[in-house]
Amino acid sequence: MIYYEMLVQVPMCSHDKVDLDVCVIAGNEDIKKELSYHKNIKITEIDDESGLSESENEFDIIISTKPVSSVYMNRSLRDKGIAVQPCKSLTDTKTFEEAGKLMYINQPYWFFDEDYQIKTILFSSKKYHGQADIVRNKSDFIEHTEYYNTDMHISSFNYPTKIFKQILPSIKI
């Protein structure tokens, strides 16, 4: 599924570390399948954000299928950590502002799903920029996908001018 390709591959191909500790919140088989294409990862699965309440500097990447508290994300991520979570829309400034309080980079990315509906995911990071820091020796070799590729990764962070002006005060790029 396109949604899970983009939810997983964008953060996985934005982090340059080889051995990754990945936390999956409210995951499913589609996420596991996407993660299975990456080597040298340790996966921790939890049901909801309360599972992060005790963790500190434990994960390189957090992938969530539902919104997560920025406090839990920030505390649970290592110093170069990346977290992704769904947003209501490309103009969900409330979610962007909340996550941006504690993260160095905070920007949405968007794409079309199988039904040609726009889906938006928030990319939050302590170091890496989702577009500028793509790791091409990872993204160029993802071959199993139907939608994700290096060019889609990069272009998913581009916005129409009107939307960019609207969200600019609430994102960190």
Which pLDDT score, from 0 to 100, does residue 77 have?
Answer: 96
Distance (Å, rounded) from C-alpha 51 to C-alpha 42? 16
We find that the CATH architecture of domain 2-170 is: 3-Layer(aba) Sandwich (3.40)
pLDDT one-digit tens code per residue, 66-111: 998 888 999 999 999 999 999 999 999 999 998 888 899 999 999 9
Pair of tokens at residue 95: 């979610």
pLDDT digits (tens, 9 = 90+) for 31-66: 999 999 999 999 999 998 888 888 889 999 999 999
Average pLDDT over residues 160-171: 94
Q: Are 61 and 11 in contact, with CB atoms under 8 Å apart? A: yes
Instruction: Dig out the tokens for 75 from the structure.
Output: 């505390």
Distance from C-alpha of 122 to C-alpha of 104, rounded to nearest angstrom: 13
Report the alpha-carbon distance of residue 72 to residue 102 in Å, rounded.
Answer: 10
Give the model's pLDDT for residue 110. Answer: 96
Per the model's pLDDT, the better-predicted residue between 54 and 20 turns out to be: 20
Burial class of 125 by CB neighbour count within 10 A (0 to 12, 13 to 18, 19+): buried
Closest C-alpha to 81, from 100, 62, 60, 64 = 60
